[in-house]
Amino acid sequence: MLARANRIVRGDDYRSVVRRGRRSATAHVVVSVVRRPDGAELGSDGPTRFGFIVAKTVGNAVTRNTVRRRLKAIAHELLTQVPTGHDVVIRALPAAAQAGWPTLLEDVSRSFARGVEKAA
């Protein structure tokens, strides 16, 4: 599970990342990444924070929660490999419901890397 310091919890933060962030999409996810400015409350060297959007188009509640748990586990794995000071929102697309763990891991990792390159 992600620690509170590694989660985006405010709606304003979600909107900011989705609107201003650099997008990278695959068949299963859309990843938006933005580098936090120096004046942010956590500072630019603060921890990388993740947020997740899994809409009803992905499936029923059981399916959506399964996809969300998989994305959270992937984000937890990425924490050791990612630079600090970024906000990341991962939006699951309907195809994510049928995707296996290795496919989701590869898609999110690749999209995140591209998003960080663009945001730098």
Domain ranges in the chain? Answer: 4-119
110: left (phi over 0), alpha (psi -120 to 50) or beta: alpha
Q: Which residue has the tokens 């695959």?
A: 26
| Cβ contact 120:36 at 8 Å | no
What pLDDT, in 10s, does the model give residues 7-35?
Answer: 999 999 999 999 999 999 999 999 999 98
What pLDDT, in 10s, does the model give residues 64-117?
Answer: 999 999 999 999 998 888 788 889 999 999 999 999 999 999 999 999 888 888
Q: Measuring CA to CA, which residue among 107, 88, 100, 90 is closest to residue 28?
A: 107
What is the bridge-based pairing of β-strands 22-25 and 86-92? unpaired
pTM value is 0.89
Give the CATH class of 4-119: alpha beta
